[in-house]
Structure 1
Amino acid sequence: MTGETAPAATSAAPTRASSPRSPRSRRRDVGAGFAFLSPWLVGFVVLTAFPMVASLYLAFTDYDLFRPPSWVGLENFTKLFEDPRFWTSARVTAIYVLVGTPIKLAAALAVAMVLNMRHRGQGAYRSIFYAPSLIGASVSIAIVWKAMFIDNGIVDRIGQLFGLPAGGWVGDPSKTMPMFVLLAVWTFGAPMVIFLAGLKQIPGELYEAAAVDGAGPIRKFWRITIPMLSPVLFFNLLLETIGAFQVFGSAFIISGGTGGPADSTLFYTLYLYIKGFAQFDMGYASAMAWVLVVVVGVITAILFKTSNAWVHYSGDNR
């Protein structure tokens, strides 16, 4: 009896294999994905792609915002490289990038290393140092900064207490660049947080082994911290370099939109604004914009190319 019922008890209906999704179902899913992406796609096309293409066209035209653009070929680029103020703006911006960016990154790394140590109130200190980056180089900060560095401002008064000659920084061409560098360094919070995250990823065993071998703090910094932190350093260097080329708001407010005194604050983007929206030479301004795009692109490519020699990733045997 049991032998007859066993097969019936163990038999079961064959499992139904899941059928592949139909092309119609896949198209429906793709359509839903594009529907969710459509706000970003519309914004990218309208606010980024179309203006870029339009500015590229305008770079080869004579356009004053009031009359239709007329094609002039490479004339704007020829005038651009013959313009003394263009070269002045390029020089001012280059000095700002070459001086301000390393100092800002050095300050961010130094503070990040201090905050990486165990002590009471770590969260409060991190918030305090990061707070200026939340404000950034906004209009309000530029106004306050200008009030601090003008004649008889708080910086001038403090300097006089230490025996320095009276006189504000805003009206002195020799002091305007240090003032802007200080403003850039003051907002080191963003790279500091990234450095701090990178420091947290360095194994403590490396420092312990180095201490056993007799390595001091300086040797640990150059042989362990910098190599292990090199990807983060490269990331911050890339972002801060690109951002330094785009400085505008603080230069516009502090100089009153003129680039003075003696064109010492004539940053590249400020001169671009002057040509495009003060002198209504939009074709010339578009040519300046694309020169900036090319220069930043070349510098970015150089940074990526040279990174092979000094950026070390986990598992890299170099």
Structure 2
Amino acid sequence: MEILDILIIGAGPIGLNCALEAEKNDLTYIIIEKGTIVNSLYRYPLYMRFFSTAEKLEIAKIPFISTAPKPGRQEALEYYQGIARQKNLNINLYEKVVNVTKQNDIFHIETSKAEYRAKNVIISTGFYDIPNMMNIPGENLDKVKHYYTEPYPYARQKIVVIGSSNSAVDAALETYRKGAEVTMIVRHSEISESVKYWVKPDIENRIAEGSITAYFNSELMEIKEHTVVFKNEKGETNEIENDFVLAMTGYLPDFDFLKNSGIELQGECLNPLYHPETMETNVKNLYLAGVVCGGKDTHLWFIENSRIHAEMIVKSILSK
């Protein structure tokens, strides 16, 4: 069996960048991806726009041409998948890595379809696959959605949106504009400061005028077939009619996979241990790249500031 120089887990933007850096330095590699190319971006809301401008989303100095100041989901899909096509990157899609072990300085990688050997492994799996659960009664009902893609299924429905971040605000505004009756239940005292600056006034104005109802300093307690129960800022229990719950409560990396691969996790945020100059973990020749480096703090790393990880990792590999 061939022993690769690098096996990359995850075909997101940073995983692709790692592959391009490996090719540039004549290192053998393969990317293993459980879904499609840039699978997380594919699952974003259809009309999502990035904070960053196009040039800050570029990888390998390949120009990202956008018709708008802030690129949207479809443009990003075209850009990253286009790179994979044009460069003919070595990617296996719809193949899930289930186990990473190390024997005599060689990694043994078991997937849903095959087995591989590699001298180095890069985990670049993002964080979009495991919803941050509320752990309340009724969360398993079909009416509860942890992913939001478009507003059309919710026309003329009574919607409860949980959260006040970008995803929650986008869902609230889009469903409201397609005729939904929208109620937001927010743990905090106001809309998150991290909400896109061109969207924040919109949601605040819709709340102020009463088009969207918002309960701040409040918590959802139970989800029933036709209602939801929540506690408001006064500690009073309320029950309102409801057709769908959009639980925009965030997402988490696969911590079990990281631990099972031998990576140490530290503190309340379960920050994976790695060297900041090489991205090498406590397991020799096992590296992290991209958002997964932040543990529960999923806003710490993003495409714009983690593009450099590929060069740092390959430089470390070549130095050995």
TM-score (norm 2): 0.21
More helix by share: 1
Say which one has the larger Rg. 1
More strand by share: 2
Instruction: Kindly indicate whether structure 1 or structure 2 has the higher relative contact order, using CA contacts under 8 Å at least 6 residues apart.
Output: 1
TM-score (norm 1): 0.21
